[in-house]
Structures are given as C-alpha cells and as structure tokens.
Structure 1
Amino acid sequence: MFGIIRPCRHRLSERLQTSWMAHLCGLCLALRDDHGQLARTATNYDGLIISVLVEAQAAREDSSWRRTAGPCPLRGMRTASVAKGEGARLAAAVSLALASVKIRDHVEDRDGVFARRPVAAGARAVTRRWDRQSAGSASAVGFDTAVLLDAASRQGELERSLRPGGSVLLVTEPTETATSAAFAHTAVIAGRPGNAAPLAEAGRLFGRLAHLLDAAEDQAADAASGAWNPLTATGTDRAEAERLCRDAVHGIRLALREVELTDRTLVHVLLGHETDRAVERVFGRARHTASCRRPDTAGAAAGTTTGEHPHQAPPQQTPPGQAPIPPWVPQGPGFTPPGQKPPNPRNLLAGCAMWALMACTCQLLCCDHEDPFSRERREGFCQRHDCCDCGDPGCGDCCNCCDGDCCDGCDCCDGCCCDCGCS
C-alpha cells in the first residue's frame, strides 16, 4: 500500500482508527467488487481520502454509509464495518486509474523487472484493462477519468521538454490538476456544490505535496540509477523543496477551513496533521514538537487534579491490596489480569492445532489474540510494529492528550496535542 498519508495507531483515537480502517477496507472491497481480485493491489492510503471526504460532507445516518464485510485474513478472519457507496466507488476508480499510470511509468522507465519484455508486455495489458475499468466505474458516479489520463500523458511531455533551471512547479502541474478534479468531485457526490472550489484548491496542493515528497524521497536512488528526477533536473535544492512542501501543507489547512463538513475530525487529522508528518518523514522536523501537555503535567494548567486531563478518561481505581496496573498492560474483557494464571492452558497437540489455525487465518500477525498454548493475551506482530517502529520521527512523542477527536480543528484544546498552528 503506497501513499504519503500513513496515520499511526498511537495518533488516532479508537473512533478514528475504526473509521480509518472502515474506509481502507471499503476501498479494497470496492476495487474487488468493481474490477476483480487483481485490482485490490491498487489499494492505497492516499486514495481512500476520496472516500473520507465524501462521507465527511454528506448529511446522512452513519448506517447508510457502512456495511458489514465478511471475514478477511488481514483482519484475522474477523468481520468489520466498512465504507460503501459512491465515495468508495469513486476512490476505487481514482486509485485504479492512478495505479495504471504508475505501472505505465515503470514500464517506460524500464524499472526493475519491468525492463524484461514479457513483464512489460503483461503490465501494458493490465494498464489497458484498468484504464477501461476505471473509466466505466467512474462514469457511474459522474466522474470522467480522462482528466487523470490526460494529466499523465502531459506529464511525460513536460519532463521531456523541461530545461535545466526551470520551475519544478511546471512538473507538478499535471498531478495537481488530477487530484484537484478528484477532490472537487467529492462535493458533487455529497451534494455540497459550494465545497467544490476550496476542495479543488486543497486537492491541487495535495497533488503538489505528493509529487514533491515522492521526488525528494527518491532523489538519491534516482541519482544512483541515472533515473530522471524533477528536483535534480530543475536544480531545485532540498531546502526549496521543503519550503514548497510546507507551504502546500499550510495551504491545505487554509482551504479546508472553507469546506462545510458534517464531521471534519478525520479529514482534519489526515489532511491537516498527517501531511505535516509526511514532510517530517522526508525532510526532518522544522521545529520542536514536544510542546504537547502530557497527562502528568497538564493538570495544573487545565484546572484538574494531577494525572488527569480534560480529554482523557479518569484513571481506573485499583482494588485495595492489589498493586497498581501499569497503563501499558492490556485490560478489559478477554485479558488475563496480571499475576493470575490464564484458565485451562492447552496441551501440546491442541496448542499445535490452534497455532496452525491461527497462522493460516493471519490472527498471529494481524490482530490481538490468545497464545495458542498458554492462552495468555498477546498482541499481533502488526499491532506491535505498525507504529513505534515505523520510522516516523514524531511517532510516540506527542500524544494521546486530546485523543485526536476532542475538537473541531484543535480549537478547544489549544494545540495541546499537535502544535500544528491551527488553533
């Protein structure tokens, strides 16, 4: 799954994490239903923003935009509530069209295995089929993918005609145009035509940001392989590229303020905060972001007792005579209390059988589970490593102090969790 938006579990509240996964699974299933199993490889984090924007603008009951999906190995063979409807279908069509463009670029550049003729021929056949399929499904929701394909064709012409010293923004223009059109069409689907203009601006800047970050991230590898890179070709240094990226993030936030949304929380987190995180991943931090008021120090400032915070649940009371339970120890239904032996450990044969079942259904990797032998509660490998070892320089240092969904744009918590300057 590719994309610059990669939210970490530690920066999302439970509600936002559930909503994020609903859109991710909804996009994947929409690709499968409309275009076949192979199309699910086009699932990407940035594409599901289309689905998020449609749902955030729509005045509707939550149940009308959700459906229950069947068991999936990536969810540990569990069912889940996933996004459905025109937003998911538009996201699928856009993702498929962009994936087709990306594969075509690899073929033209003869990258890796695409340099081999049989692979290139097969890839071209896939891109032609995906172009037709994305155009058909997009037309069903009133969107014309020709703007995406035209932008892709102009991209190659611009790169070939670009002279050294030219503006890098000339190269990003086709990407800006394509994402602008996709963002603006979410307003049409949601029945909010007044949102089309600010969403088009937000999409234009998001396209610029994505293109520049991709170029900056690949610059060293492109130089080693001799591949064309827009920053190198135009002589744009990394300081200027970083400035353009941070200006784009700021512009996205300003544009979103003009958008009328039913629920802006997830949109604000993804486009207002995670875009900034993406810039930090590529260029490093521009400022110190540890000004987050921690629960153990925020009490006096917020007028609460020590260890409490107005956006956190009160601490659980420890029964008399029992040692306090550290906050990182899992608690609740299905978790064995510390110091107590879990009931009925399995014998070797039953444990091996259960291990095989859980391994085949991805429960050992993708979700919390009972140990096949001891029946103690364990975290899945993906759950343990999808955040703190993700390489995000801001991961884990900022926060659960406002739980990500306490407010509308962090106005009420005065920047306590994000230091984004949006309050």
Structure 2
Amino acid sequence: MFGLLRPCAHGAQKYGIDSTEWRAHLCGLCLGLRDGHGQFARATTNKDALVLSMLTEAQSGSARRTTAAPCPLRGMRRASVAAADSPGVQLATTASLLLAAAKIRDHVDDGEVAALARGPLAKAATRWAADAHAGAARIGLDVEPLAAALEAQVRLEQEAKELVAAGVSGAAVRRTNAYVPESLATSPHWQSAMAPSADPLARLTAPTQLCASAFFAHTAVLADCPDNIEALREAGWQFGRIAHLADAVADFDDDSAQHRFNPLAATGTAVGEAYDLLRQSNSRLRTAIAAAELSRVPTVRWMLLDPLTSVLRRIGGGLGMLAAHTCSVSRDTAGLPHAEIRAHVRGTGHRPPTRRPGVGESLALILGGYCTGYACCADHTRPCTGERKDAWIKRCDCSDCGECDCGCCNCGDCGCCNCDCGCDC
C-alpha cells in the first residue's frame, strides 16, 4: 500500500467520526481489487485513492456497506466495509490500477528492478492498465487522456534529463517543445502547463495533476452533483501538484545521492521554493473544496484536509521553517473588499497576526519561549498563555494529525485540537 494521506484516529474523535471509517474504505478498495482483478492486484492498493470513494459518498449522502470476512490485517475480525461494487470504490479501483501500472512501467524502464523481475512486472503492468480501462468504461470515465498524460510523463522526464545532461539550465526547459498528445488538446490546464512560457516544473507535474483532477471531478459525476465538477477538478489539479512535489521533496537527498531523476533538481527548483508551491496548492485546494460546499463535511476534513496540512507541517518542519499564517478566502468572503474580509474574520473570533516576528522572537519561538502567533504552540496551553502543557500531552504520538497552522489553535506535537477560529487555513 502506498499513498500520501494518513488520517489520525484522534482526529476522527474530534469530528465525531468512527475511526474505523478509513479502514472501511481501505478494505473496500482492497476487496474490490481482489474480486475484480485477482489476488495480486491487491498490491496496487493506493491509500490516496480512498479519497475518491470518500468524496463520492460525501456528495451523494449515502454509504453502502457490507460485512467482510475475517482478515489477518484486521486481527482475523469481521468488519463493515465499503461495498466493492459501489461507484466510489470502483473509481478508486480504477485509479489504483492505472497509477500502479504507470509506476511499475517507470521503474522497469529505468532499470530499477532486478533483471529477472522485469518481465513479470511489465506483464502485470500491462494487465492492470487494461483492467483500468475496462473499469473506467463501466463507470463512464474517459481514461484515454489520463493514459496519454502518463505516457507524456515519461517523455517529459526524458526531455528534462537530456537537457540536464547537455548542461542546459532549468530556465531553458520552458523554451523546448513538449509532447502534447491529441487527446489532451482540449484540456485548458494541460495547455497552460505546456505553454512556451510555462514554468519548467509545471510541465513535469502536469501529468500527475491532470490524472488527479479527472478522478476528483468524476466523483461529482458518480454522485450526480454536476455543479461540483469544476470545483473538484480544480481541487484535484492542486492535489496532484501536492502529491508530486511532496514526493520530490521527500526523495530529494536520496535521488541526488543515487543520481536518480528528481523534478526539483532537473528544473533548478530549490526545496524552499517547492515548499512555497505546496502551501499555495494547499490553499487553492481548500478554496475549491469550499466552493463545492464540502469543506465542513467531517469526513472530508478528516480524510483530506487535515492530512494535507500534516504533510506540509512535516515538510516544513524538516526544512526548519516557521509555518506562516495563510488563511484561504472562504466562499463567505470571496469577492469582498479587504476591509470587509478582515471584519468577517474578526467576527469569527480569530485575530490574524499583523507582522512577522523579528529574529529575537523567532529564536525564542524555536526555543519554546513564547508564542508569536505565527506557529502553533506545541508545548503551550490553549488559548496560549505561555504556560506549558502537561508532559503526557506532549508525548501524544499522533504527530501526523492537525487541522490548521494559523496560530490560533493548539495543533503542535499532538495536533488533536478543536479549531474554533473559523478560518480555512
């Protein structure tokens, strides 16, 4: 199983959700892969694809469940899981197969697997790709542009490698002619990413973004919510960039040491710049989710928004960065003058910081001296009075959860907080 999103059980309690809900979607996807494509297909289980099943249910307002037989991964216990033939699970199954097939082909082509395993893995990838096409046809998803985008990914990376080998700077990548499949000609997002003036990094992340946007948008189709299609397409586009860049940042050192391809190194993008792009995409994704009126749905916040914030917090923490306040504009304030937006925020009880901390304040913050409002107080009480939390709270092991980094919540080491500031951070 692989994927980016890891919801925290403590977060489920915060929202009044049964913490087994995530497992219900995970087991439903695993069983859907087994029933439709064989036991070996269960190896393609992608935890991020569970969001597709969850988003479909969140929009349709219905959740189909079935009782699964005992499983070793559940301690040989039965469980209520998402029905394998439900539309959301079928979409998640299609996504898992398609992305796994592309990933395996990429590893085989790059020679990153043993010689004896290349043949069987290539055969499995071909079968999974065919199964993904068949599954997509059953739920009305046009998968041809997605397959073309994944093929384009290989060409784009090869082009970037050749330019790097030739000593061409990252800025020159934007003047090259990228491969544009005919099936992608009508995608405005793709056209923008492939424009001559586009950022070179945007070219390399575009295939992942296109696939994610199509899958997110199709959840609205399956849930019969046509008004949400464009908003979720935008949310998926941003999610794709987060997934691609987060992986690039996490693998940057290893890729450099082993001389493997990394989009950041190939385009001359600093890790700090990538982090800024991640924060930008996270803010835009939240705005799009709010436009679809899903930002206050508990399961959406628990399984999508909170884990994304945790991803950014982990990356930012690894870079030694302070999390700055980046509230996104919600639907209630969209289009309003700046003064009215600030009045709306004040009405929620949230007081955003008005200045950045100085060097001395930043040092004191890092050392745990006091709160400046620019980072969550990991060691302090809520509301922050400068007093430290009890030791047992600091030892909470759910460091991957958290809702916002706006400074008005106690979302530090534990992250199990109730965010009442009213902002979408």
Same fold, judged at TM 0.5 (above): yes
Q: In the alignment, which residue of structure 2 is the partner of 1:183?
A: 216
Residues 128 and 291 (structure 1), Cα distance of their counterparts in 2 relative to 1, 3 Å cut: same
The one of 231, 234, 255 aligned to 2:264 = 231
The one of 414, 421, 424 aligned to 1:414 = 421
Q: Deviations over 1:189-242 (max 9, x none)?
A: 000011000000000000011011111111111111111111001000011000
TM-score by length of 2: 0.69
Residue 138 of structure 2 corresponds to residue 136 of structure 1: no
Q: In the alignment, which residue of structure 1 is the partner of 2:202?
A: 169
Structure 1 residue 46, shift from structure 2 partner: 0.5
Q: Deviations over 1:69-97 (max 9, x none)?
A: 11111111111111121100110111111
| Amino acid aligned to 1:136 | A
Residues 3 and 286 (structure 1), Cα distance of their counterparts in 2 relative to 1, 3 Å cut: farther
Residue 43 of structure 2 corresponds to residue 41 of structure 1: yes
Structure 1 residue 45, shift from structure 2 partner: 1.3
Residue pair 1:216, 1:241 contacting (<8 A) in 2 also: yes
Residues 240 and 32 (structure 1), Cα distance of their counterparts in 2 relative to 1, 3 Å cut: same
Q: In the alignment, which residue of structure 2 is the partner of 1:19?
A: 21
Q: In the alignment, which residue of structure 1 is the partner of 2:250?
A: 217
Residue pair 2:402, 2:415 contacting (<8 A) in 1 also: no
Structure 1 residue 270, shift from structure 2 partner: 2.9
Structure 1 residue 289, shift from structure 2 partner: 1.8
Residue pair 1:281, 1:392 contacting (<8 A) in 2 also: no
Structure 1 residue 160, shift from structure 2 partner: 2.1
Structure 1 residue 388, shift from structure 2 partner: 2.2
Q: In the alignment, which residue of structure 2 is the partner of 1:160?
A: 158
Residue pair 1:168, 1:230 contacting (<8 A) in 2 also: yes
Pairing of 1:309-328 with structure 2 (within 5 A): none
CA distance in 1, matches of 2:312, 2:400: 13
Q: CA RMSD in A?
A: 3.0
CA distance in 2, matches of 1:253, 1:278: 14
Q: In the alignment, which residue of structure 1 is the partner of 2:115?
A: 117
Residues 399 and 239 (structure 1), Cα distance of their counterparts in 2 relative to 1, 3 Å cut: closer
CA distance in 2, matches of 1:268, 1:292: 24
CA distance in 1, matches of 2:154, 2:225: 34
CA distance in 2, matches of 1:293, 1:31: 45
Q: In the alignment, which residue of structure 2 is the partner of 1:388?
A: 397
TM-score by length of 1: 0.69
| Amino acid aligned to 1:97 | L
CA distance in 1, matches of 2:313, 2:10: 17
Q: Deviations over 1:237-281 (max 9, x none)?
A: 011000001101011100001114497211123332211211222
Residue 71 of structure 2 corresponds to residue 72 of structure 1: yes
Residue pair 1:147, 1:181 contacting (<8 A) in 2 also: no
Residues 31 and 74 (structure 1), Cα distance of their counterparts in 2 relative to 1, 3 Å cut: same
Structure 1 residue 392, shift from structure 2 partner: 7.8
CA distance in 1, matches of 2:38, 2:315: 34
Residue 230 of structure 2 corresponds to residue 197 of structure 1: yes
Q: Deviations over 1:264-321 (max 9, x none)?
A: 2111233322112112223325322237995xx6699xxxxxxxxxxxxxxxxxxxxx
Q: In the alignment, which residue of structure 1 is the partner of 2:308?
A: 275
Residue range with higher mean Cα deviation, 178-187 or 165-174: 165-174
The one of 246, 249, 261 aligned to 2:279 = 246
Q: Which has the larger radius of gyration?
A: 1
| Amino acid aligned to 2:314 | R
| Amino acid aligned to 1:3 | G
Q: In the alignment, which residue of structure 2 is the partner of 1:290?
A: 377
SS at 2:20's partner residue? helix
Structure 1 residue 59, shift from structure 2 partner: 3.2
Structure 1 residue 16, shift from structure 2 partner: 4.5
Structure 1 residue 104, shift from structure 2 partner: 0.7
SS at 2:68's partner residue? strand
Residue pair 1:54, 1:189 contacting (<8 A) in 2 also: yes
Residue 124 of structure 2 corresponds to residue 88 of structure 1: no
Structure 1 residue 143, shift from structure 2 partner: 1.2
CA distance in 2, matches of 1:136, 1:199: 24
Aligned-pair identity (%): 41
Structure 1 stretches of at least 4 aligned residues deviating more than 6 Å after TM superposition: 389-396
Residues 392 and 53 (structure 1), Cα distance of their counterparts in 2 relative to 1, 3 Å cut: closer
Residues 255 and 161 (structure 1), Cα distance of their counterparts in 2 relative to 1, 3 Å cut: same
Residues 292 and 391 (structure 1), Cα distance of their counterparts in 2 relative to 1, 3 Å cut: closer
| Amino acid aligned to 1:79 | R
Residues 299 and 226 (structure 1), Cα distance of their counterparts in 2 relative to 1, 3 Å cut: closer
CA distance in 1, matches of 2:36, 2:49: 16
